[in-house]
A = this chain, B = another copy of it.
C-alpha cells in the first residue's frame, strides 16, 4: 500500500491561489500508486494579514511543522509595507524550519525564448544558503529620521551553517556535471568570504571528482549573460543567491518556468516548495498565470521525498508541453490540464 504524506498547503495571495491547485493535481497524478497525499490548508499571506492582522500565528506554525512537506504559492500585496510579510512569514518559516538549502534550478527549456541572442544550453542549479548572512535580521538604526541617523545591517555567517550547505552542493554536483562554482565577494567581504572559501576547499577535498572554482558576485552577473552554460552548481550565500537566481530566471526566459525548494536537508522539519514568481496582483483572478513553475515545485517536492521517477514524469510532461505549446497563449487551467494530460 502507498504511504500517505501530509502536505501543508499555503496558496497565499493573488495568482498563488490559482497555480497551487495545479501543483497538487500534478503531485497526485505523478505519484499515483506510489504515494498518497493528505492536505492541510493554511490561510496565510497578505489577504489574511489585511483581514485580521495575523501573519504566522504560533499554533499554525506548530501545525505546519507536523507535515511532511509544504507547498507554497506566492505571498504579497502592494498595500503592505515591505518587510512585514517577508520577515514575518516567508523568512520566518525558512529560519524556524531551518531550511538551510535554498535550491533553485535554472534550465532553458526547448520552446522558451531567452532574452539572450545566443543562450546556449543552460542547465544549472543555484544552491543558496537559506538561514544566515544578511537575512538573519541583525542590525538596527539610531536617531531614526534625523540627519544623524545611522542604520546597520549585519551579515552573520557560521562555519556550522556554511559547511552543511557546502556539503549539500558537492553531493549534488556528484549527481550532475561535477562542477561547483563558489560565488561571493571575498575581495571586499574578507571575513565571510575567506571562511566560505576555506570551507569549500576543505569539503572539496572529500570530493576529488568534483572540480570547483570561485567567482566574485559582480563577475557572475556578467557570465550569467555572456556565458551561462558554463555553470553546473553555483554555491553562494543568502543575499547573493537571491540576486543571481532572479537574473538566472530572466535568462532562461522568465520566472514563469522556475521553481525553488527551501530545504531542511537534515529532515528535522518539513521542506517548502514554491514557484519563484510572486503573487502578481496585476493578473490575479484572471486565469492567466502560468502554473508551470508551481507544477515544477511539485516535482521538487517529490524528489525531496525520494520519488525520483514520479518527479521525472512531471519533468517530462512539462518539457514536452513547453516545447510544443510554450509560445501559445493559454489560460492557467488550460496549461495545467495540458501538462496533466501528458503525464
Which residues from chain A sit less than 8 Å from chain B, CB to CB? 82-83, 86-87, 91, 113-118, 134-135, 139-141, 143-160, 163, 185-195, 198, 217-219, 221-222, 224-226, 239, 242-247, 249-251, 254-255
Question: Whole-angstrom distance between the alpha carbons of A112 and B235 in the complex?
Answer: 33
Chain B residues positioned under 8 Å from A192 (CB to CB): 139, 151-153
Q: Would A86 and B222 count as touching, CB distance under 8 A? A: no
Considering the complex of A and B, which 5 residue pairs feature the smallest CB-CB distances, nearest first? Answer: A221-B247, A218-B246, A149-B159, A82-B187, A151-B191
Question: Whole-angstrom distance between the alpha carbons of A75 and B243 in the complex?
Answer: 27
Q: Would A188 and B135 count as touching, CB distance under 8 A? A: yes
> Which of A91, A156, A163, A188 has its CB near the most chain B CB atoms (within 10 A)?
A188
- The chain B residue sitting closest to A148, CB to CB, is B159
> How many copies of this chain are found per oligomer?
2
Q: Please give the distance in Å from A202's CB to the nearest CB on chain B.
A: 10
Chain B residues positioned under 8 Å from A154 (CB to CB): 139, 152-155
Chain B residues positioned under 8 Å from A189 (CB to CB): 134, 139, 153
Given A82-B193, A135-B188, A246-B222, the answer on whether A163 and B140 have CB atoms closer than 8 Å is no
Question: Whole-angstrom distance between the alpha carbons of A89 and B250 in the complex?
Answer: 36
- The chain B residue sitting closest to A237, CB to CB, is B153
Having A143-B159, A153-B189, A218-B243, one finds 12 other A-B pairs with CB under 8 Å, namely: A83-B193, A115-B226, A150-B157, A150-B158, A151-B191, A151-B195, A153-B155, A155-B155, A218-B242, A221-B250, A226-B250, A226-B254
Q: Please give the distance in Å from A204's CB to the nearest CB on chain B.
A: 16
- The chain B residue sitting closest to A140, CB to CB, is B191
Give 18 pairs: A residue, B residue, CB < 8 Å, sorted on A: A82-B187, A83-B190, A115-B117, A116-B116, A117-B117, A134-B188, A134-B189, A139-B189, A139-B191, A149-B159, A149-B195, A152-B157, A152-B191, A153-B155, A188-B242, A218-B246, A221-B221, A221-B250
Q: Would B147 and A152 count as touching, CB distance under 8 A? A: no
Question: Whole-angstrom distance between the alpha carbons of A172 and B321 in the complex?
Answer: 48
- The chain B residue sitting closest to A145, CB to CB, is B198
Question: Whole-angstrom distance between the alpha carbons of A189 and B225 in the complex?
Answer: 27
Q: Would B219 and A246 count as touching, CB distance under 8 A? A: yes
Chain B residues positioned under 8 Å from A140 (CB to CB): 191
Chain B residues positioned under 8 Å from A113 (CB to CB): 117
Question: Whole-angstrom distance between the alpha carbons of A152 and B154 in the complex?
Answer: 7
- The chain B residue sitting closest to A246, CB to CB, is B218
- The chain B residue sitting closest to A153, CB to CB, is B155
Chain B residues positioned under 8 Å from A158 (CB to CB): 148-151
> Which of A83, A160, A191, A222 has its CB near the most chain B CB atoms (within 10 A)?
A191
- The chain B residue sitting closest to A191, CB to CB, is B151
